[in-house]
Chain A
Amino acid sequence: MSLKKTLIARNLSRVRNILCIASGKGGVGKTLFSCASALSLRDFGYKVGLLDLDIHCPSCHIFLGVKEMRIIEDRGILPLEHRDIFFFSPAVIVGDKALPLRGGYVSEALQEIMSVVRWGELDFLVIDTPPGTGDVLLDIVRLCKDPKFVIITTPAKASVSAAFKTAKIVGDRALGYVVNMGKGPLDINLRYLGSIPYISGLDDEIEIKGIEHTAFYRYSTAIVHKIVETLQDTN
């Protein structure tokens, strides 16, 4: 473990901000918001990495339309360059094969990926986390230096309840929350960062035009702007 911890610290040593997109529930839009956040930060002029840590079902590459997934070796693995962001996902290694891992192995896989991928200098590393409050969330808190979390939820009660639990676990590392498929703030004791309304036909629109040309992206960009301001206030 200590060897991996040393390697992880090396690989993240020149990353200025680690921004994790999290929620307790699945299907609330974490992955899409993660991709949109990385692209928005790129548009703001930052050097950005996007790491998909949904070990069981990585899907950022699908939203981003990454066609060529190959391992680039250079004293470890280099992230792929796609649309002017740096990108890595477990899918780069295992493709679309099912990865039936129990909890402990999820943690091992996460540490292995983080210890082998060399990010270089980045202003932001956006991490798409899987649903739940288990190994991945706990490992990020344990292994990354000063990670910040954006909690994403829908207005559904179950989702809000899960968001609340996630916020409890990450504590003051939570920058605030985003409401997806809803309007206005909810009863969550965190900084409200903004909302994205339900957008009909979004999947098709992404497929045809790409994320950057959707209404989702316009809303996300405004929220990411607020996230950057909040980060500057807290630093």
Chain B
Amino acid sequence: MHEWLLAEGIIEEAKKRGWRKVKIKLGKLQGIDREILEDAIKRISATEGVDLEYTIEEVDPVLKCKVCGYTWRPSVDGSKLEEIHFLPEAIFCFESCPKCSSRDFEILQGRGVEVEPEEDAHSEESK
């Protein structure tokens, strides 16, 4: 599962930077299964002896048409989900502006997965 790869990356990134507490932003466009991700983080942390605290913020996708300026929240159905799960830019294959039909739009939010420190007190970077 993609979620396991992400969990490995999140833990490695936190270890590398000395982060003990992180915020994980999950763009809903990518359809990451939160339960699987959390389970993967828990199991990998236990295996590697890492004590990582985290919070998860799920971010709804919002798109904006570059032609007419209309903004909208796309609904991603099952037939498109696998493509977008692995490549969020695949949304450009499927979606068009509901108002003017243009396929020239931008993703304002909710694209992928980001991780950032939630506190800097123990971070290597802050030393």
Do A75 and B4 have beta carbons less than 8 Å apart?
yes
List, in ascending order, chain A residues with CB within 8 A of B87's CB: 90, 93-94, 109, 112-113, 116
Do A10 and B9 have beta carbons less than 8 Å apart?
yes
Do B89 and A99 have beta carbons less than 8 Å apart?
yes
Do A77 and B86 have beta carbons less than 8 Å apart?
yes
Scan residues 53-108 of chain B and give those whose CB is less than 8 A from a CB of chain A.
82-83, 86-90, 92-94, 103-104, 106-107
List, in ascending order, chain B residues with CB within 8 A of A100's CB: 92, 103-104
**Which of B2, B103, B104 is close to A76, meaning CB atoms less than 8 Å apart?**
B2
**Which of B2, B16, B93, B94 is close to A6, meaning CB atoms less than 8 Å apart?**
B16
Do B9 and A108 have beta carbons less than 8 Å apart?
no
Interface secondary structure of A, over-half rule: helix
Q: How far is the CA of A116 from the CA of B12 in the complex (A)?
A: 15
Do B12 and A6 have beta carbons less than 8 Å apart?
yes
Q: Which A residue's beta carbon lies closest to that of B107?
A: A105
Q: 1/0 per position for A31-75, CB-CB distance to B under 8 A?
A: 000000000000000000000000000000000000000010101
List, in ascending order, chain A residues with CB within 8 A of B103's CB: 100
B48 to nearest A CB, angstroms? 14
A70 to nearest B CB, angstroms? 10
Q: 1/0 per position for A16-37, CB-CB distance to B under 8 A?
A: 0000000000000000000000
Do A3 and B86 have beta carbons less than 8 Å apart?
no
List, in ascending order, chain A residues with CB within 8 A of B52's CB: none
Interface residue? A2 (CB, 8 A): yes
Do A118 and B13 have beta carbons less than 8 Å apart?
no
List, in ascending order, chain A residues with CB within 8 A of B110's CB: none
Do B4 and A93 have beta carbons less than 8 Å apart?
no
Q: How far is the CA of A33 from the CA of B93 in the complex (A)?
A: 28
Q: How far is the CA of A161 from the CA of B90 in the complex (A)?
A: 34
Q: How far is the CA of A60 from the CA of B114 in the complex (A)?
A: 31
Interface residue? A221 (CB, 8 A): no
Do B8 and A101 have beta carbons less than 8 Å apart?
no
Q: Which A residue's beta carbon lies closest to that of B12?
A: A6
List, in ascending order, chain B residues with CB within 8 A of A105's CB: 89, 92, 107
List, in ascending order, chain B residues with CB within 8 A of A94's CB: 83, 87, 90, 93
What are 20 A-B pairs with beta-carbon distances under 8 A?
A3-B10, A6-B9, A6-B12, A6-B16, A7-B6, A7-B8, A10-B12, A75-B1, A75-B4, A75-B5, A76-B2, A76-B4, A99-B92, A99-B93, A100-B92, A101-B92, A105-B107, A108-B112, A109-B87, A116-B5
Q: Which A residues are closer than 8 A to B by beta carbons?
A: 2-4, 6-7, 10, 71, 73, 75-77, 90, 93-94, 97-102, 105, 108-109, 112-113, 115-116, 118
Q: Could you list 9 further interchain pairs (A-B, Cβ under 8 angstroms) beyond the known A2-B115, A3-B9, A77-B86? A: A2-B13, A3-B115, A7-B8, A75-B5, A94-B90, A97-B93, A108-B112, A109-B89, A116-B87
